[in-house]
Amino acid sequence: MRVRLLVRTFSELCITAGTMIVLFVVYVLFWTGIEAEGATDGQIDRLRESWAEAPVARPAPRPTRPPAPTAYEPGKPFAVMYIPRFGKAWDWPVLEGTGPGVLKKGLGHYAGTAALGEQGNFAVAGHRRTYGDPFKDVPRLRAGDAVVLTDGTTWFTYRIVRTPYRTLPTDVGVIAPVPDPAEAGAAGLDGPGRYLTLTTCEPEWGSSHRLVVWAHLDTTQPVTDGKPRAFHS
């Protein structure tokens, strides 16, 4: 009787544990994606509404001296990013900050890095997996691919300069105004410029390392001129 009771108790514990594991996997794989879809759609909708209410003006000429980074409002969206290689439906809001709460709603701009389109390094982080998997396909990116952003007034087209670079989370030099790893210099990022850095976790289901992608600003144009050619190439 005692052995039978122990076996039954152990079996029930295994079933309970298995159920909890299945529920956790469902949460990670599916429910966080549903949460992210609702959150990101809301952020983009609010951005587009605010842009529609504001008068559209052509961007002012760029100053000859590098400006200080713009102070975006923490936790708030200020731009939308498109990566044509990831498909026509891939669009994500960019919010200020990289905290867990921010990255549940979209991509996060590293506070203190350059403003969009300005001299320096506009650095952005995103989840590789969970919360919509925004940067799941980062390993597919190749030199020359476009990363397009808009702030409602201007289209900014950046061009990737090399395939993703693997490094440690402590390697903060990758988001410096001029990225300092040797690999960045080899890619041509060896002096002042208008750069974009994308970072995400590596491996796909872990976080021991980071994948980093660098790009440089290629073209800008007012939204009144229509979408950039990068969407059609």
HEC sequence for 166-188: EECCCCHHHHCCCCCCHHHHHCC
Is 178 part of any domain? yes
- pLDDT band per the 50, 70, 90 thresholds, residue 3: low
Residue 189 CB-density burial (10 A; 0-12 exposed, 13-18 middle, 19+ buried): buried
Residue 31 has pLDDT above 60, yes or no: no
**Nearest C-alpha neighbor of 150 from the set 212, 74, 77:** 77
- pLDDT band per the 50, 70, 90 thresholds, residue 212: very high
Q: Where are the beta strands (DSSP E) in 1-135?
A: 77-82, 91-96, 107-109, 120-125
Q: How long a stretch of residues is the chain?
A: 233
Token pair recorded at residue 223 = 């939204």
Quote the domain boundaries for residue 48. 39-231
Q: What is the mean pLDDT of residues 160-174?
A: 93
Q: What is the mean pLDDT of residues 15-36?
A: 44
Is 166 part of any domain? yes
Q: What is the CA radius of gyration of the chain?
A: 21
In sign, the C-alpha dihedral spanning 197, 151, 96, 178 is positive
Model-wide pTM > 0.75 = yes
- What pLDDT was estimated at residue 183? 78
Token pair recorded at residue 214 = 């660098």
Q: How many helices (H) and strands (E) does the chain have?
A: 4, 9
CATH number, residue 48:
2.40.260.10
- What pLDDT was estimated at residue 208? 96
Residue 25 CB-density burial (10 A; 0-12 exposed, 13-18 middle, 19+ buried): exposed
Distance (Å, whole) CA 81 – CA 75: 16
- What pLDDT was estimated at residue 232? 82
Is 66 part of any domain? yes
Stronger pLDDT, 207 or 11, i.e. the higher one: 207
Is 20 part of any domain? no
Stronger pLDDT, 231 or 59, i.e. the higher one: 231
23-37, 89-103, 151-165, 188-202, range with the lowest pLDDT:
23-37
Percent of the chain with pLDDT over 70: 75
Stronger pLDDT, 43 or 58, i.e. the higher one: 43
Residue 149 has pLDDT above 60, yes or no: yes
Residue 68 has pLDDT above 80, yes or no: no
- What pLDDT was estimated at residue 39? 61
Number of structural domains found in the chain: 1
Q: Which helix (H) or strand (E) is 7 found in, with range? A: helix 2-26
Q: What is the mean pLDDT of residues 182-187?
A: 78
- pLDDT band per the 50, 70, 90 thresholds, residue 42: confident
- pLDDT band per the 50, 70, 90 thresholds, residue 70: low
Amino acid in the structure at residue 50: S
